[in-house]
């Protein structure tokens, strides 16, 4: 079975979160920490602090969008504290 992942990274440099989705979590995490992702290359190193597995890409994208809202960020704050 193939999963899609919604994930949250935390920058060790500035403490801010990055929320994204991918079909290969390990590879994507390595891309972030290697500087291959434009939006996080100046915020490295990044720590993987949270992820969820989804059965399809549509659900992973929807969850990513949900986590980027105010309610989603409040949920993450509670979960990561």
Q: What percent of the chain has pLDDT over 90?
A: 98
The burial of 21, by beta-carbon neighbours within 10 Å (0-12 exposed, 13-18 middle, 19 or more buried), is given as buried
pLDDT band at 40 (very low <50, low <70, confident <90, very high): very high
Q: Given pLDDT bands bounded at 50, 70 and 90, which one contains residue 1?
A: confident
The mean pLDDT value of the chain amounts to: 97
Average pLDDT of the residues in 4-22: 98
Is 4-80 assigned to CATH 3.10.580.10? no
- The domain limits of the chain are 4-80
pLDDT band at 61 (very low <50, low <70, confident <90, very high): very high
């Amino acid at each position: 079975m193939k999963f899609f992942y919604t994930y949250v990274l935390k920058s060790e440099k500035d403490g801010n979160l990055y929320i994204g989705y991918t079909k290969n979590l390990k590879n994507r995490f390595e891309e972030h920490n290697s500087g291959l992702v434009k939006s996080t290359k100046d915020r490295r190193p990044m720590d993987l602090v949270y992820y969820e597995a989804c059965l399809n890409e549509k659900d992973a994208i929807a969850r990513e969008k949900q986590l980027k809202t105010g309610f989603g960020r409040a949920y993450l704050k509670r979960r990561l504290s």
